[in-house]
Structure 1
Amino acid sequence: MTFVRSSSGYKALRKGRWSIPGQIYMVTTICANRCPRFSHAETAEVVAAKLMEGDLWGDSRLLCWVLMPDHMHVLIELGRERVLSSLIQRVKAVSALAVRRSGVACGQFWMPGFHDRTLRADESVRGIAMYILHNPVRAGLVAVPRSYPYLGTVWEDVLDDKV
């Protein structure tokens, strides 16, 4: 196990944060100033395309993701190459750079930090994926997850399950 220590900012969020290879994490990160950046199709499409690039994640595995108007949820299985904070920092930096390169003016794209939750051994990974993928339904953006364009999962059949 690797204990991640940090010397500045968001200490309360990072205190006691562990990065365990093979562990499943649900991570949420918020757009700067809660700006609804993903309400704009061009921005959402650029970030969605980046999220689906395998090399972005290294040896970690993206199990599911959803872009909500002002934040992102991902469910990942952490690999050995990076600790969780380094992986999320990379995902945020690469996605923000891709948006800038697409010509969309964005200034600061993501808020610093992120929220993570380690799944317990008795939790259903597919159940958590269903919870994440149903966020657009609970927010009233769509009637069913499958009709929301900015989400993905390794389990296609989960999109048809009811929460």
Structure 2
Amino acid sequence: MSGIRYQITFKMINIIIYLLISSLSLVSGRSSSDYDTYGFIDIKTDSMDVPFYIDGVFVGQHPLKEPIAVISGFHEVGYIPPEIQSKKIRDNLSDGLKRVYVSPGDTLKVFLFYDHYLSQAKRLESDYRVQRYIGASLFGMVIYLLFSII
């Protein structure tokens, strides 16, 4: 997966701050009721070294050593990098991205079928780019023909 840049985003900073606060809470000996605001996501797949993303933030590669702590609520789990996600890819590759709900204090197990979906996502992205170039070229030729007639 060389060439993919991982950028620090606002969400990643929030996750890091949240994990630091959670760690400090564990050390200070707070009660278990303080931890009812978050849950865990345990991600599995059928292939090795698959990158995992939660809400567009890289969280590790398969196999993960332990479940990922997240704030309870809806999250988007997948292996398609945010750089190549578009609406068409998200619609066509529903197995590559899953929207899940994590209950407070619960561990949700998510299984993603990997196989060839990432290469298919990259191919779809290049196909859409070619379609845009062809469409722009045809539009340019029509405009040229209209002005050459006048």
TM-score by length of 1: 0.25
Larger radius of gyration: 2
* TM-score after normalising by structure 2: 0.26
Structure with the greater relative contact order (CA < 8 A, sep ≥ 6): 1 or 2? Answer: 1
| Structure holding more helix per residue | 2
Q: Which of the two has greater strand per residue?
A: 2
